[in-house]
Structure 1
Amino acid sequence: MDLDGGNRRVFNRLGGSSAASPDSSKNQKVCYHWRAGKCSRFPCPFLHRELPHPSGPAAATSNGFGAPKRFADDSGFSGPALRRGPNFNNNHNNSWGRMGANKVVRKTEKVCNYWVQGNCSYGDKCRFLHSWSLGECFTLLNHLDGHQKVVTGIALPAGMDKLYTGSKDETVRAWDTNTGQCMGVINLGGEVGCMISEGPWLFVGIPNVVKAWNTQTNQELSLSGPVGQVYTMVVGNDLLFAGTQDGTILAWKFNAVTNNFEPAASLKGHTLAVVSLVVGANRLYSGSMDHSIKAWSLETLQCLQTLTEHTSVVMSLLCWEQFLLSCSLDQTIKVWVATESGNLEVTYTHKEEHGLLNLRGMPDSESKPVLMCSCNDNSVRLYDLPSFSEKGKIFAKQEIRAIEVGPGGLFFTGDGTGFIVWKWAEAVPKP
């Protein structure tokens, strides 16, 4: 929402083919029949040529994670102020959705099935991708198998050289970040709905309980209270919040005297399961299967506002600078900004062809903000912010339900076959 004398201004995504382009009158897709050598249409509305592959710096791969032993959140996307401040101006808002100069030019956005099976005979001449990604700004470091079902959580506790993954196969696995080897398996007896870490603590949400482990002392706790599956968790204002299947948000506070987490609050208001939580600007934001987003005061734990612009499940929430981003199975990402009254309003809506599952943000190798969003077509889109110009794409055999940001340009994606370690390519020095 652009505030200019109280008038509302609707932002539309800009871009499209240039009038000077020789193919400006054509649909920017390669003709399927031309690829098969039997297109009989003239003129054909689609391209009779392959689009050039995106260019950019390539990065070397590594067998291990390549991560330092001490982990820190260097994403720059957590806990920003979602309020109108001295730097708020119309020009900043106007940049949402404007196309940048680095839009990825697509090849054929489908992974070759024969290449996956290891027997494609076309080699470099194959029209389909022989890669799990499109774009050269990042590279695949390692693919780690072990889980039997979809990975639903990835966590890197502080001060540890281990990474933890949780799955619907009812297990948590610990991985050595230097070798990529599985160091151990914890059987929980229930599907892992989510997993986060805060300091040395690892929190795992399963049906009817939150498991807590202190990775430094090996202390194990069970936090009771949830009804049904625990889908999402976040830490804010020294409280652990958990969104549950019955629509309640439960809060616990750590008591140093008893060395335990004690119940602090129960937030009610959603009519269906709470599946996404994020903290920013001294507020807790919750997304639900009831299609709504609620903003809660972290001080009073009272609901301040209910947002109802989405038309399906609000799957994920993300704070970035003074903005709140939300994604939904309604195939949209909405960008929210606080008005002078303090209420949030939509300033931009980005539309996708598929339902959206998860949002994560991190800086690329040039410290520019990048949004990663997983879709239910087994892919992850990467966008430059605030332009939403496409930067790359990641493919998988199954839905990618977990994305996590690591140190040193690392990030992780998890699907039903395991999880993959990625790394941003090093920036090329300008002459």
Structure 2
Amino acid sequence: MDVDGGNKRVFNRLGGTAGDPRNQKVCYHWLAGKCNRHPCQFLHSELPPHNSNGAFSNRPYGSGENLSFNGPSRRTSNFNTWGRGGGGRGGGRGGGRSGEVVMKGDKICNYWVQGNCSFGERCKFLHSWSLGDGFSLLTQLEGHEKVVSGIVFPSGSNQLYTGSTDETVRVWDCQSGQCAAAINLGGEVGCMISEGPWVFVGIPNFVKAWNTQNLLELSLSGPVGQVYALSVINDMLFAGTQDGSILVWKFNLTANCFEPAASLKGHSRGVVSLVVGANRLYSGSMDNTIRVWNLETLQCLQTLSEHTSVVMSVLCWDQFLLSCSLDKTVKVWFATESGNLEVTYTHHEENGIVTLCGMHDSQGKPILVCSCNDNTVRLYDLPSFAERGKIFTKQEVRAIQSGPGGIFFTGDGTGQVKVWNWIPEPTTSIQ
């Protein structure tokens, strides 16, 4: 369901003229307030600002407190802000690129990746791991031998934890970038999360938990098969498993342990994604559905069936639920007056989407990071889905994590972890 009706309708709303494809793109430099081209080939216009009860406006985004990735708020928002990215791919399949990405090409040179391109600077393909501005590659962490399936940065820690299907968790010193420890778990890591000082790791038939402050280690049994997804809220730990169930543990502060509390049944195949927001648990599954669970009663409130393939990732942003699938779509869900979720916007990609991550750029503007199974990671402004850039990898990225101080991490199928940072806007001083 694509309520924007594809690129044509988005193009018309932006004031485009038939036969002039340049007008389908909004000037990225103009949006940033620094375009010096007169005349500019891209649009110097945007949709009019919403009134005070709207969710979004044309003013710069603030700290992100009201546009949180922690869970849906209760504010009312205007649906029509979605996908108005200046004719980018957000409105429908096969749309043109947004005006902000202006380089000699948008494909990476495979020979350069292998280290033997003979064309050098004359090559018509990119010799870079990224395309776009506003972010850059800081460093690479080498050590894992297989797919990186989890990345976490525990609260109060100066160490990064990464998990892999090579059956290890590696601990990285953030000052030196060196691997401080490699922990063999005896099973493939399916997922990782952190909550406060705790790190939770899903492996076949178990959830491993350890406290990075007091070094307490726990092993939680009960899962059948691989643990694909984890989430924590209100001292409750949820684990999505290969057999389609969601196991629940509650933390006993007195005994300093996690005690089994419930098992949520309903999915017919493995649960591969979990997120908590607005007193709800959302679970995405290999059965192509998303289930909505009440956190107080642990009952299923609704089953969302609009995806046609595996629901790989679910994410809460502001009052919206975002979901991605191997069906090549990101769907944006919004609660109606009855409380049920309905699709309010569908974003199309040319390839299946593996995972989503929400973060803020150096100006506090919300960014959606989408990993696709064509070995690219796409970065989009929210809610417009204007494309900010791309990241290229040797194999698809399965894990993305934001960190403190404007950094974020990607982990790919080769075992490589890349560290990126958002570049602050330059400030000008008045003499």
Provide the TM-score with structure 2 as the length reference: 0.82
Q: How much has 1:179 moved relative to structure 2?
A: 0.9
Hey, what does 1:295 align to over in structure 2? Answer: 292
Change in CA separation of 1:257 and 1:426 when aligned onto 2, cut-off 3 Å? same
Q: How much has 1:124 moved relative to structure 2?
A: 2.0
Q: How much has 1:429 moved relative to structure 2?
A: 3.6
Q: How much has 1:366 moved relative to structure 2?
A: 1.4
Hey, what does 1:81 align to over in structure 2? Answer: 72
Aligned CA-pair RMSD: 2.4
Question: Are 2:350 and 1:357 equivalent residues in the alignment?
Answer: no
Q: Which amino acid aligns with 1:97?
A: G
Aligned partner (choices 142, 147, 171) of residue 145 of structure 1? 142
Superposed, which structure 2 residues align to 1:220-369 within 5 Å?
A: 220-369=217-366
The answer as to whether partners of 1:150 and 1:169 remain within 8 angstroms in 2 is: yes
Hey, what does 1:12 align to over in structure 2? Answer: 5
Distance 1:146 1:76 in 2: 36
The answer as to whether partners of 1:236 and 1:298 remain within 8 angstroms in 2 is: no
Q: How much has 1:229 moved relative to structure 2?
A: 0.2
Hey, what does 1:424 align to over in structure 2? Answer: 422
210-219 vs 11-20, which deviates more? Answer: 11-20
Superposed, which structure 2 residues align to 1:57-136 within 5 Å?
A: 77-81=68-72, 83=74, 85=75, 88-89=76-77, 92-100=78-86, 103-105=100-102, 107-136=104-133
Question: Are 2:381 and 1:395 equivalent residues in the alignment?
Answer: no
Distance 2:296 2:165 in 1: 34
Distance 2:67 2:191 in 1: 22
Change in CA separation of 1:106 and 1:269 when aligned onto 2, cut-off 3 Å? farther
The answer as to whether partners of 2:100 and 2:132 remain within 8 angstroms in 1 is: no
For 1:37-72, what per-residue CA distance to the aligned partner results, in whole angstroms no more than 9, with x for missing partners?
xxxxxxxxxxxxxxx9xxxxxxxxxxxxxxxxxxxx
Q: How much has 1:323 moved relative to structure 2?
A: 0.4
Question: Are 2:204 and 1:207 equivalent residues in the alignment?
Answer: yes
Q: Which amino acid aligns with 2:82?
A: W
Q: Which runs of 5+ in 2 are unaligned?
A: 24-40, 42-63, 87-97
- Aligned residue pair count: 374
For 1:8-54, what per-residue CA distance to the aligned partner results, in whole angstroms no more than 9, with x for missing partners?
x93335239953886669xxxxxxxxxxxxxxxxxxxxxxxxxx9xx
For 1:362-420, what per-residue CA distance to the aligned partner results, in whole angstroms no more than 9, with x for missing partners?
11111111100000111100001111111000010001000001011110000123100
Hey, what does 1:43 align to over in structure 2? Answer: none
The alignment partner of 1:98 has SS state of coil
Q: Which amino acid aligns with 2:85?
A: M
Distance 1:192 1:74 in 2: 33
The alignment partner of 1:94 has SS state of helix
Q: How much has 1:237 moved relative to structure 2?
A: 2.3
Q: How much has 1:139 moved relative to structure 2?
A: 0.2
Distance 2:428 2:387 in 1: 22
Hey, what does 1:40 align to over in structure 2? Answer: none
The answer as to whether partners of 1:75 and 1:362 remain within 8 angstroms in 2 is: no
Distance 1:365 1:406 in 2: 12
Hey, what does 2:375 align to over in structure 1? Answer: 378
Change in CA separation of 1:261 and 1:180 when aligned onto 2, cut-off 3 Å? same
Q: How much has 1:312 moved relative to structure 2?
A: 0.4
The alignment partner of 2:420 has SS state of strand
For 1:174-227, what per-residue CA distance to the aligned partner results, in whole angstroms no more than 9, with x for missing partners?
000111000010011110000011111110000000001111111111000000
Distance 2:226 2:145 in 1: 19
Q: Which amino acid aligns with 1:427?
A: E
The alignment partner of 1:15 has SS state of helix
Distance 2:108 2:65 in 1: 32
Percent identity among equivalent residues?
66
The alignment partner of 2:288 has SS state of coil
Hey, what does 2:53 align to over in structure 1? Answer: none
Hey, what does 1:59 align to over in structure 2? Answer: none
Structure 1 residue ranges, 4+ long, deviating more than 4 angstroms after superposition: 20-25, 73-76
